Amino acid sequence: MTQTRTAATFAPPVMEARRWLDGVTFTADRPLINVSQAAPVDPPPLAMRQAIAEFAVNEDSAHLYGPVLGNDALRAELSAQIGAHYDAKIAPERVAITSGCNQAFSAVISAITDQGDEIILPTPWYFNHKMWLDMTGVTAVDLPTGDDLLPDPDKARALITDRTRAIALVTPNNPGGVEYPSELVRAFFNLAREAGIRLLVDETYRDFDSRNGPPHDLFHNPDWDETLVHLYSFSKAYRLTGHRVGAIATSMELLSEVEKFLDTVAICPGQIGQFAALWGMQNLSQWLAGERDEILDRRAAISDGMPKLTAQGWRLLGLGAYFAYLEHPFDMPSDELARRLVSDAGILLLPGTMFRPDHDPAGKRQVRIAFANLDREGIGLLFDCLQRLSF
């Protein structure tokens, strides 16, 4: 029997991890500590929800089809804010709105590849990127990183073939948390331009970057859109995960191909989500700055708490945005450890095996902690539990 497209890849990791909770009882004195998914659990601020409600009641357009590439007002506002964030000028025609950033990636891959083509993914990779490549018959070529989790452009150069269509980066990184230095992103841009391929840069977590000023200068190139494909999400910044609003910035020529994919899959992004994203950008800048400060404080809490884990043999490999990526000290693979942690410690996290190919042994020593929904007290409780482990 012929293997189907979906059978070519693995089960969704977050959903698989949730199934580990079946049959496990958590108590008031040992509640579940869920650090498996990088998504806000709180709803958007009340003012935004009220504005959404008014829009849904009063605007007929809230319930109708819109432009396939997104509403003009949102594209214009996002292009202006991209320009402000990166100290560059971006035309609205080079921006498209999608139903989440995963769809943005899927649309671009469908527009630039054919079956049998190759995309270079640094490992540990974002698993949904790998899943989409599997399901479209595109080969994910893994680019291993070292202990600093930063990919090496020279090693990437050695992987480029006549079937390579793009290199895909995520910064700040999921799952590693690391923020790619501007010079590193520029080196990958130069490599991609030289090779005549695309550079996809997923910056879903850019609003929580610890650095001030533009994280890179790629938009300063007059012909940036011939190489760069910038991906973004409103989900984390404005707690709009359920509304599914993402974005692409690239050339108009590529967007015309992306439009074919989007029209076939969803026709247009949801109107209510687009309204919320626009309203958020226009009204919540101070609120978002506070959200960033809180995430940076939780990041600092991870750093403050690491000595107690380091003493037990843990190593912190990456930290930033919503993530801490660690090497564990136990004599068991991380996928087995992750399952044991649910029943033995009340902790749900993801093993490194979900972020690396099967042939890479590093994944068996690593775990990802998504800490955005734990405050300082919760992070302290998590670290106390991990410190007490003895397997």
CATH number for 66: 3.40.640.10
Domain that holds residue 364: 6-43+287-387
Residue at 272 is within a domain: yes
55 is a domain residue: no
Same domain, 278 and 324: no
What is residue 1's predicted lDDT score, i.e. its pLDDT? Answer: 62
CA angle, corner 357, sides to 107 and 197, nearest 5?
A: 40
Share of the chain above pLDDT 90, in %: 92
pLDDT digits (tens, 9 = 90+) for 196-210: 999 999 999 999 999
Run of H or E residues at 144? strand 139-144
Sheet strands (E) in 208-272 = 228-233, 246-249
Domain boundary among 235, 253, 284: 284
Q: Are 132 and 100 in contact (CB under 8 A)?
A: no
Chain segment 330-363, per-residue pLDDT in tens: 999 999 999 999 999 999 999 999 999 999 999 9
Q: Is 149 left (phi over 0), alpha (psi -120 to 50) or beta?
A: left
Q: Supply the pTM of this predicted model.
A: 0.95
Choose one of 261, 284, 307: the last residue of a domain: 284
294/163 same-domain check = no
pLDDT for residue 305: 95
Overall domain count for the chain: 2
Does residue 330 share a domain with residue 194? no
Q: What confidence score (pLDDT) does residue 23 get? A: 86
Per-residue model confidence as pLDDT tens digits over 287-336: 999 999 999 999 999 999 999 999 999 999 999 999 999 999 999 999 99
Q: Find residue 98's DSSP bridge partners.
A: 246
pLDDT above 90 (res 30): no
Domain final residue, candidates 240, 255, 284: 284
User: Are 121 and 221 found together in one domain?
Assistant: yes
Amino acid at 6: T
- 363 and 225 share one domain: no
Check whether residue 69 and residue 104 sit in a common domain. yes
Same structural domain for residues 266 and 322?
no
Q: Give the number of C-alpha atoms closer than 13 A to the C-alpha of residue 169, restricted to the C-beta side.
A: 31
Asked if residue 51 belongs to a domain, the reply is no
Q: What is the CATH number for 22?
A: 3.90.1150.10
- Per residue in 55-99, pLDDT tens? 999 999 999 999 999 999 999 999 999 999 999 999 999 999 999
